[in-house]
Amino acid sequence: MLDKFLTPMIKPILSPVVVVLHKRGITADQLTVAGFLIGMLAVPLLAFELWYGALAAIALNRIFDGLDGALARYAKQSSSAGGYLDITLDFLFYAAIPLGFILANPEQNAIAGALLLATFIGTGSSFLAFAIAAEKFKLDKPQFKYKSFYYLNGLTEGTETIALFVALCLWPQHFVLLAGIFATACAITIFTRIHSGYHTLKQLETDTIVGSK
């Protein structure tokens, strides 16, 4: 929900760093992999209840995630392969963070963490499944033209998810409550995406049939 507002604000901040990285010969894919590995360090840090260390790893992961796309566009190296690598590692990272909290306190966090992971699967699958169909119909990407795939909006997107992770690191004792609230918001996102995505594609298919006659 907030991605379309936050992204334009972040781009000017990243630009000077992108220029330096490009001059040093660093590629966007290298940043993607490095950011993922840094982000995954949050899992053992969370498991050992090193909350601020985990928060630092999460923050660095998100910085790298912003830099890799910006660098790809600056260097004119944007590609489907890079986009695929980026979104795949992003979703693995998103799933890993609840796992870290479950490992920290299985008795308290297991059910809420499992619920959160289940809704993450729902938001991710509804997001990516529509992107595949959108490519078939060559849909425009009015809000995120720089993305390598169609970006279907929802109540819970990247910005909201990272805000959740920050809150969980700051107040880990409230994991069950925060995870439950966010899982509910994810459920709303899943419903609205499936509903709007289905009817949008249904209409496109109808228009294609009519247009071919």
**Contacts of residue 100, Cβ cutoff 8 Å, sequence gap at least 6:** 42, 43, 44, 45, 46, 47, 54
209, burial (CB in 10 Å: exposed 0-12, middle 13-18, buried 19+): exposed
Q: Is 110 left (phi over 0), alpha (psi -120 to 50) or beta?
A: alpha
68 is catalytic: no
Residue with tokens 């880990």: 172
Listed as own residue / partner, the contacts of 135-143 with beta carbons closer than 8 Å and 24 or more positions apart are 137/201, 137/204, 137/208, 139/204, 143/4
DSSP E strands in the chain: the ranges are: none
Phi, psi of 24 (to 5 degrees): -85, 0
Catalytic residue among 3, 68, 90, 207: 90
Name the residues annotated as catalytic: 90
